Structure 1
Amino acid sequence: MADQITGGCKCGKVRYAGTPLDAAPFRCHCRDCQQLTGSGHTEMMPLAREGFAISETCRIYEMQGGSGQSTYSGFCPDCGAQLIRRSARMGDRVYVHAGSLDDPAQYAPERSIYSDAAQPWDAGSIIKAD
């Protein structure tokens, strides 16, 4: 895996850089991800929160996650691109949306989470655990 991961939004106003965590990249089917992305799921790559940098122009939306704790979604205030997710529960990491990576080929999902919330029209995208 790459030493440094970089990415940003469609219009270029928000940029980020960080280091991959030794944690599985995943596909999330939770209802929050569906609503935030307007899709059936989102593709997430975990990066270490320590040393993670993102442009100050990134807007953060705070909401209550399924655990009852706060989760945060970062997006570009101009083009609206979803860029990051993080949570109070998993404070050591930041999840970046794989589509926002400068090199999306660096992403290879290993599993699906919250597959019980997958929409019937998106059920074919669930990655079954071995």
Structure 2
Amino acid sequence: MMEGGCRCGESRYALAVEAMPPVYCCHCLDCQSWSGSAFTEQAVVREDAITASGPIIDYRFTSPSGAQSWQRVCGTCHTRLWNTNSARPGIAMVRAGTLDASDTIEPRAHIWVKRKQPWIALPGGTPAFEESAPLAEFTAILLR
């Protein structure tokens, strides 16, 4: 079991996993805007592995592709905790920086690096993709 939560501590979640889930970093402009930072760190988990407590708001929107996105945020401090998407049924993307063990994260890949901030140096040996990674290759990287 891994746990995490929002900045103010009002919303908490637990992940029914045995180890740190696979994490990737996305440097696209949407992720930069959503996070207010240079990139996001996403931990990939099964949606049914998440249990949560506290005031969690479900913010929904339709992406340009037509997919429905559900963002879960703390109802008090509005920290983004995780999201699901109709394009990826059963999968949740947990904001890895909200994990209690966020200091142990080792991203397995970086995507949309053509949009990364110029001052960010990516680690050698970690796969990096100019845009979205090919699904089969990305899945293989995350499952290793």
Q: Distance in 2 between matches of 1:22 and 1:6?
A: 10
User: Does the CA-based 8 Å contact 2:16-2:49 persist in structure 1?
Assistant: yes
Give the drift of 1:121: 4.3
Query: Secondary structure of 2:110's partner?
Result: strand
Give the drift of 1:57: 1.6
Q: Which runs of 5+ in 2 are unaligned?
A: 129-144
- Where do residues 1-130 of structure 1 align in structure 2 (5 Å cutoff)? 4-20=1-17, 24-55=22-53, 57-65=55-63, 67-122=65-120, 124-125=121-122, 128-129=126-127
CA RMSD of aligned residues (A): 2.6
Give the drift of 1:48: 1.1
Q: Distance in 2 between matches of 1:125 and 1:105?
A: 17
User: Does the CA-based 8 Å contact 2:20-2:105 persist in structure 1?
Assistant: no
Q: Which amino acid aligns with 1:7?
A: G
Which has the higher Rg, Structure 1 or Structure 2?
Answer: 2
Structure with the bigger RCO (C-alpha within 8 Å, sep 6+) is 1
TM-score (norm 1): 0.79
Query: Secondary structure of 1:85's partner?
Result: strand
Range 71-80 or range 34-43, more displaced: 71-80
Q: Which runs of 5+ in 1 are unaligned?
A: none
Which ranges of 4 or more aligned residues in structure 1 deviate by more than 4 Å?
20-23, 125-128
Range 74-83 or range 22-31, more displaced: 22-31
User: Does the CA-based 8 Å contact 1:44-1:97 persist in structure 2?
Assistant: yes
User: Does the CA-based 8 Å contact 1:9-1:81 persist in structure 2?
Assistant: yes
Give the drift of 1:23: 6.9
